[in-house]
Amino acid sequence: MRHHQAGALAEAEPLYRAILQRGPRQADAQNLLGLLHYQRGEHPAAVVALRRATRLRPGAAEYHRNLGMALRALGRLPEALAACRRAVALQPAAAESQFNLGNLLAELGDAEGAAEAFRAAVARQPGFAAARLNLAHALLLLKRAPEAEATLRPLLAEQPDHPQARYNLGLSLMPQERWSEAEAAFRAARAAGAAAAGLAANLAITLQEQERWPEAEAAWRALLDDDPAQPEAWFGLGLALQCGAAEGAAEDAAQAFERACALRPDYCDAWYNLAHLRRQQGALDAARAALDRALALQPEDPSALTNLANLLALQGWPEQALPLARRAAALLPDDPLPRTNLARLLLLHGRYAEGWDAYEGRVREEADAHYDFGLPAWDGAALPGDGRVLVWREQGIGDEVMFCSLLPELLAAGHRLTLICDRRFEPALLRAMPALRFLHRAPPPPEIVAQISMASLPRLFRRQEADFAGNRAYLTADPTRRAALRARYAPEGGETLLGLSWYTAHPRSGYKRNIPLAAFAPLFAVPGLRWVSLQYGDPGQLAAEAAAAGLALRIDPDVDPRADLEAALAQVAAMDHVVSIDNSVAHFAGALGLPCDLLLPLAPDWRWQIGRSDTPWYPGLRLHRRGHDDDWPSLLRRVAGSLPQAAARNG
């Protein structure tokens, strides 16, 4: 045994064989010979010798443990498992046997069983570092990160510079989203000499999660300098560039995602992020191709389905988008985002009942929470006694104007309404509906016994096209202010005034609705018309824009549509005719009953539907839509051709 313990295996082997030749039933010699073969990598010979040893002494736990190791080395895992379990059964207090059993169970994919065995090893030998490390790893596989952390802390208290323990500690902190601590653990592991393959990548991830984008970018680049064939590192670099939002970084990010996809064509997340970037860049065909690849890999991915549906709608193919939106909403029935997208597509198609039902599960604005006082949701029925319904605002001012078009009908039916709305809008609503009351502060008075968002009213009262029959112009402007503006813009009294609005600052969809002012030149070439800007914005900048476009457009610096809604309504009402993109001006014109040419992009907002030149919301609006082969100049030339007749009718 001295030769064996000293590592002189060649000298030990003949001695063991000599012992066995004299006494073939020497169990210890058979065990040691088998262990010698195992240590030299002669696993078949090791199994033969160790089986003989276990037959000679069946109750020796050590023999079964060694046999289990040899069988595991041969890949005969079920037999190895039986041997390891026998060793544990014979000597439960042996930490080494519990450890071997845990390793084998981990290899077999039984993380729960492995954790139990490693825990038993640690309980019997608290200083067993390898058992603690493996227990922590098994707990991480079981998504029990806090337990993994607690397992590692005693080891690190004794060996603070243990590299693998520091690395595993970082891994246990990541699922707990303790990113700065995880970063510190990974840095300590690297300083201690840890050679874990994922250390650099995980350190980069912790920087990314702390939104330290330049540092994360540098970490990913360093990783790629060492090995440029890592798709995950290219993906990480793309994410750091995408989220860091440095000037000019979007294309670099897209190229990083493309490299990730080229190296790993089944990288669904990389295809998905590439699609998102290409869409942001306006490269819609490239975005669609990337989403198609993502969905080919994960056909039931709700996010990819939702985004492809939105992209198809943006490209002007809502019919193709609708079934995708249905699939996404069915996969995530409790998620408001796919339900909102489905609802908008249904309403775009004029499927009111189904659309409004889906819209009830929409994404809500944060402000909505301030208006919900916990009252029963109104179901449209008459309330007993003097009970009133609280109707609160939702979304922007144009949406308020549109949804409030239902209120005259409800008041006429005898419903008592109290409104939370944009304070700028209250004077106009009171002129139109003196029976309205307004709530300015919480809590609501006791006579308010039910509540509803104004965006939920159509679900109760606009479930089919016929329900819109009562929609009429319901607002009037302040007559004194309207008359004063009319006199200012048309002092001779006979001029035909046309109001124009061409821009919205809407953060998500303004880019597709807005039209360059210079593109309106064909309209300004129509004789006999005087044009007035209804556009909100800085008057000086608007005047400079009109001058640069060479258009005779009156900019009134005394009217600030954003600050003074009464002035904005009076200015619109002073016109004979309005031409507007999809913004609040179009809603003002529709609610005032003023004729308006509404200019819609290829992918219009849901309220304007598809395939029609009118809208049930506002009878006075005439809708002009861009087609697939259209651009704004061609659409505006068509509108210009109809303006003389429209102006003659309206003037």
pLDDT of residue 339: 95
**What single DSSP character describes residue 578?**
E
> What is the pLDDT at residue 216?
96
Question: DSSP characters for 384-425?
Answer: STT-EEEEE--S-HHHHHHHGGGHHHHHHTT--EEEE--GGG
Element (H, E) at 11: helix 9-22
Confidence of residue 431 (pLDDT cuts 50, 70, 90): very high
Instruction: Assign residue 529 a region (left: φ > 0; alpha: ψ between -120 and 50; beta: otherwise).
Output: beta
Q: Comparing 75-79, 397-401, 645-649, which segment has the lowest mean pLDDT? A: 645-649
- Region(s) of the chain under CATH 3.40.50.2000: 479-650
Write down how long the chain is.
Answer: 651
DSSP 287-315: HHHHHHHHHHH-TT-HHHHHHHHHHHHHT
Q: What is the pLDDT of residue 526?
A: 93
Give the per-residue pLDDT at 6. Answer: 60
What are 101-115's pLDDT values in tens digits? 999 999 999 999 999
Enumerate the H helices of 91-160 as residue ranges: 95-107, 111-124, 129-141, 145-158
Closest CA to 569 of 479, 503, 651, 495: 479
**Is the distance from CB of 608 to CB of 598 less than 8 angstroms?**
yes
The pLDDT of residue 369 = 64
Q: Are 405 and 474 in contact (CB under 8 A)?
A: yes
With 90 as the cut, is the pLDDT of residue 19 above it?
no
Tell me the three state secondary structure of residue 8: coil
Contacts of residue 466, defined as CB under 8 A and 6 or more positions apart, other chains included, come to none
Contact 519, 549 (CB under 8 A): no
160 cis-preceded (ω within 30 degrees of 0): no
Task: Specify the CATH number of the domain 479-650.
Answer: 3.40.50.2000
> Which of the 8 DSSP states describes residue 504?
-
- Higher confidence at residue 35 or residue 204? 204
How much is the pLDDT for 492?
Answer: 82
Q: Is the dihedral of CA 24, 28, 31, 36 positive or negative?
A: negative
The string of pLDDT tens digits covering residues 596-628 is 999 999 999 999 999 999 999 999 999 999 999
Provide the edge-to-edge strand list for the sheet that holds 553-554: 553-554, 529-533, 496-501, 577-581, 596-600, 621-625
Indicate the pLDDT class of residue 8, thresholds 50, 70 and 90: low
**Once rounded to an integer, what is the mean pLDDT over residues 578-594?**
97
Q: Give the count of beta carbons closer than 10 Å to the beta carbon of residue 588.
A: 29
Q: Is the dihedral of CA 477, 480, 486, 489 positive or negative?
A: negative
pLDDT of residue 366: 74
**pLDDT exceeding 70 applies to what percent of the chain?**
96
User: What pLDDT does 2 receive?
Assistant: 64
Q: What is the pLDDT of residue 1?
A: 59
Query: Region 126-133: what's the mean pLDDT?
Result: 93
CA pseudo-torsion sign 356, 362, 368, 371? positive
- 245: left (phi > 0), else alpha (psi -120 to 50), else beta? left
Mean pLDDT for all residues in the chain? 92
Q: How far is CA 115 from CA 17, 66, 101, 120, 132, in A?
A: 40, 21, 10, 9, 10
Query: Helix 27-39 crosses helix 61-73 at what angle (to 10 degrees)?
Result: 30
Of residues 61 and 202, more confidently modeled: 202
pLDDT the model gives residue 9: 65
Find out whether 270 and 261 touch, Cβ atoms under 8 Å.
Answer: yes
Q: Give yes or no for a contact between 146 and 110, defined as CB atoms under 8 angstroms apart.
A: no
Structure tokens, 51: 């089986």
User: What does residue 156 show for φ and ψ, rounded to 5 degrees?
Assistant: -75, -25
Q: pLDDT tens across 533-550, in order?
A: 999 999 999 999 999 999
pLDDT in tens, 277-333: 999 888 999 999 999 999 999 999 999 999 999 999 999 999 999 999 999 999 999
Looking at residue 195, its pLDDT comes to 80
Q: How many CB atoms lie within 10 A of CB 69?
A: 22
Report yes or no: 152 and 166 within 8 Å, Cβ to Cβ: no
Residue 30 predicted with pLDDT over 90: no
**What's the pLDDT score for residue 621?**
96
Nearest to 500 by CA among 571, 432, 441: 571
Determine the pLDDT at residue 248: 76
CB neighbour list of residue 332: distance below 8 Å, 6 or more residues apart: 302, 338
Q: For the CA atoms of 118, 119, 124, 130, what is the dihedral angle to 10 degrees?
A: 40
Q: CA distances (Å), 415 to each of 384, 425, 436, in order?
A: 10, 21, 10
